Structure 1
Amino acid sequence: MFLEIVLAVLLGLLAGTITGLVPGVHVNLVTALVMGGSSVLSSRLSSFALASFLVSMGMVHTFLDAIPSVFLGAPEDAYALGVLPGHRYVLRGQGVMAVKLTVLGSLLSLVGVAVLSPVLFVVFPVLAGLVKGVVGWVLLGVVVFMLARERRRVWGVVVFGLSSLLGVVVFASGVRDPLFPMLSGLFGVSTLVYSLFQRESFPDQAVRSDMVVRWGVVVQACVLAVVAGSLTALLPGVGAATAAVLALQLSRGLGDHGFMVLVGGISTVNFGASLITLATIGRARNGVVVGVQSLLGRVGFADVFVLGVVGVVAGGVGVVLALFLAKRFVVLLRRVPYSWLAGGVVGFLVVLSAVLGGFRGLLVLVTAAGTGLIPAVTRTARVHAMGCIMTPVMLSLLF
């Protein structure tokens, strides 16, 4: 049994590395493949070993998906808001530092949620009863507060309104894998296209440099990550991207340094705390945990303890992999002119959107990219573009 779980964890680390580094290859896709072939796989591996594979994959993925988000501008939902700060680090020759900060946030926040897990086991069932029915109103309050703090309020409303309309239409249209073209357009393609028009170049990246850690900012970001990530793991319909928006409204003194720590931490906490949500209230809040629930049925404290250990081990390996692969990534990028790199990434995202979603996926990407250019040109906070996710969630919860 032990060796079986070790093998499953190792395979999960490999799968999570692939899903983390390759845009468009999502952990939910691999989870669906595992579930589809579970009848065959169960003859070789136990259900718990398969669940360990999924947890290992999902956890290491949260450490590695910062690399394409920072260097390629190809974000998943948790890292969408981190694209622009990460891009600024890259343009300063500090892309590796940006990845280090997200890894630091992931690691410290994982330790935090692991230490607090006994408390969360007690608190989650109580909170689940208290917040039921008010989540939509809370999100609405966050949106109003977010727009009220925007200095260019009119443009903030315009960006939020257009992105909200885009999100509602996209989710209602039945586009396959709708988040990929929408978020890639809003936060990835728009950033890269704007940088090309600004004639930005890809500077030499510092591969081996001492990272000056602003510990006060890091601790603040990790506390916010643990709180926001845990709450959104508990709340229905609220994902890691919304958690980033919530946390951002609680503090504006983080800067790029703290924000990269924040988005890394939220992604990891959201995944880890979802296992506690499954055990305490029987609800699965992401695709990987849905797979775990399907494999194991009722998940108890002992199951979560072992899966939690698997997650912590995978997180530790994820730290090493992320730091190593980020440096290898930089060595590769040094050989490519920035205009070629940016153009190539845009072309890759266009092709992948077409492959995943057909003509409608391509249309979503182009429309989202046009919308994403508005905050860049008007110097408006890009957080308002998260209306593409927040508004559909609010509508589903309120009506």
Structure 2
Amino acid sequence: MLAELVFTLVGVVFGIITGLIPGMHINTIAAILVGAFYKYEFPGLPLVYFVIGLSVANSFSGFIPSIFLGAPDESTVLSVAPGHRMLKRGKGYEALALTVLGGGGGFIALIILLPILAYTIPAIYAVLRQYMQYVLIIVAAFLIHKENRVLWALFLFALSSIFGIVSMNANINSSFLLLPMLSGLFGLSTLAVSYFSDSRIPAQRTKFRIRYKKYIPAIFLGLASGIIAGLLPGVGTSQSAIIAQETGKAKGKRKFMAVLGSISVTDTMLSIIAIYLIGNPRSGGAIAIQDFLGGKMAFNDVVLFTAAGLLSMIIAAYFTLRIGRVFGTLVSHVNYRHVACLTAAFLLWVIYAFSGAVGILIALTGTAIGIIPHLVGVKKSLLLGCLITPTVLYFLGISIYFI
């Protein structure tokens, strides 16, 4: 077990580091590992523990660039707007702490409920798979209807839907398909608005009181949403977070940050456990794990992998808070316009490196669309039409590929 422990810890280190780098997704590392596994016949089991540590740690630290730099990936994209608002009020570190609370609480809730979920998830999976398209259509209707400027909301949802469909048909490696689209809609657009508005970031409060009981419903809501994201193909953390938001139990920036943290971590573990529960992995990391295990996972594996995930969670939560405190201190002592420019330049470089000139075009188009909600006064969550509509079409069996 010493080798498994070492590989778990090394995975945690890599997961924290990759979470801090905008655009660096664990699926990339997982793909490299799978290639090395088959080419060099490396023992599979230690790599499983490495991927678990990597995945869990990444789901925590990925919120740091999202909140402090406005540079999200697909799992943290919805944290940009509320996190940035809290950052501008000196509460960026508190926003990060709430995602850690949600992630840790969600993981513990998952462990407690795992014996029950092991028997109920196959049935839940069958029902959700049958009706998910209708749930998403209702959610989209609520997103549009609740806005004061309904016509603008409808226009932006439709525009982002078209943009999403076109982007998903671009000649880009599928592993990096969402990078330019979401970076433009949510990351670069937020950075652009911040650059041209008041760019002063106040000193970040590092001492505050969190009433843990207040966030228990948010944590369990995140767990339920994480089950949806972790089991269903085509449904990611963003879509499930929107569903959670529309239940009314995630109202307010703080509760929503806790929900996002819970979804991110529980989705990560459930996508792995899905190999045992329903026979299908639901993430790049989980697919790699299935390859390393030879396609099968036993119940004993679930117990050991969950224990490795718990250890990874504890370590990652601690270091995410420590690193976040450093970010919180630095961001208030530098010119945020310079930070915005450097972050945008780095994002564009990453996009170009992984998706070429086509990715840059998608990112810039997304940036232009992403600025509109700031100008007309509607929520940026409407822009998730870029993911919701293709997902609905997928469940309806309608092909969106025309190239």
TM-score (norm 2): 0.94
Q: In the TM superposition, what is the alpha-carbon distance from 1:214 to its structure 2 partner?
A: 4.1
Which residue in 1 is equivalent to 2:65?
A: 68
Other structure's SS at 2:75 match: helix
Other structure's SS at 1:237 match: coil
Q: In the TM superposition, what is the alpha-carbon distance from 1:104 to its structure 2 partner?
A: 0.6
Which residue in 2 is equivalent to 1:308?
A: 306
Contact 1:91 1:202 in 2 (8 A): yes
Contact 1:150 1:156 in 2 (8 A): yes
In the superposition, relative to structure 1, how do residues 75 and 153 fare at CA in structure 2: closer, same or farther (>3 Å)? same
Q: Which moved more, 1:359-368 or 1:91-100?
A: 91-100
Q: In the TM superposition, what is the alpha-carbon distance from 1:150 to its structure 2 partner?
A: 2.2
Q: Which moved more, 1:121-130 or 1:311-320?
A: 121-130
Distance 2:356 2:335 in 1: 30
Distance 1:87 1:392 in 2: 28
Distance 1:54 1:355 in 2: 24
Which residue in 1 is equivalent to 2:111?
A: 114
Q: Percent identity?
A: 32
- Which one of the candidate residues 351, 355, 358 is aligned to 2:356? 358
Distance 1:326 1:226 in 2: 24
Residues 1:321 and 2:315 aligned together:
no
Residues 1:205 and 2:199 aligned together:
no
Q: Deviations over 1:47-75 (max 9, x none)?
A: 12111110111001111101000011111
Which residue in 2 is equivalent to 1:18?
A: 17
Distance 2:213 2:307 in 1: 28
- Which one of the candidate residues 56, 71, 92 is aligned to 1:95? 92
Stretches of structure 1 that go unaligned for 5 or more consecutive residues are: none
Distance 2:345 2:126 in 1: 47
- Which one of the candidate residues 367, 379, 382 is aligned to 1:381? 379
Which residue in 2 is equivalent to 1:332?
A: 330
In the superposition, relative to structure 1, how do residues 59 and 380 fare at CA in structure 2: closer, same or farther (>3 Å)? same
Distance 2:236 2:270 in 1: 12
Aligned-residue RMSD, C-alpha = 1.5
Distance 1:116 1:42 in 2: 37
Distance 2:110 2:46 in 1: 23
**Across the two proteins, how many residue pairs are aligned to each other?**
394
Stretches of structure 2 that go unaligned for 5 or more consecutive residues are: 399-403
Distance 2:148 2:212 in 1: 29
The residue identity in structure 1 corresponding to 2:362 is: V
Which residue in 2 is equivalent to 1:137?
A: 134
Distance 1:196 1:48 in 2: 47
Residues 1:235 and 2:205 aligned together:
no
Distance 2:60 2:261 in 1: 7
The residue identity in structure 2 corresponding to 1:356 is: F
Other structure's SS at 1:134 match: helix
Q: Deviations over 1:315-362 (max 9, x none)?
A: 000111101111122343344211111121122212221222111111
Which residue in 1 is equivalent to 2:180?
A: 181
Which residue in 2 is equivalent to 1:35?
A: 34
Q: Which moved more, 1:332-341 or 1:160-169?
A: 332-341
Which residue in 2 is equivalent to 1:83?
A: 80
Contact 2:102 2:260 in 1 (8 A): yes
Distance 2:44 2:166 in 1: 39
Q: In the TM superposition, what is the alpha-carbon distance from 1:148 to its structure 2 partner?
A: 2.0
- Which one of the candidate residues 151, 155, 158 is aligned to 1:154? 151
Which residue in 1 is equivalent to 2:193?
A: 194
Contact 1:78 1:244 in 2 (8 A): no
Q: Deviations over 1:152-204 (max 9, x none)?
A: 21111111111111110011113231211111111111112112222331222
Other structure's SS at 1:81 match: helix
Q: In the TM superposition, what is the alpha-carbon distance from 1:133 to its structure 2 partner?
A: 3.2
In the superposition, relative to structure 1, how do residues 131 and 338 fare at CA in structure 2: closer, same or farther (>3 Å)? closer
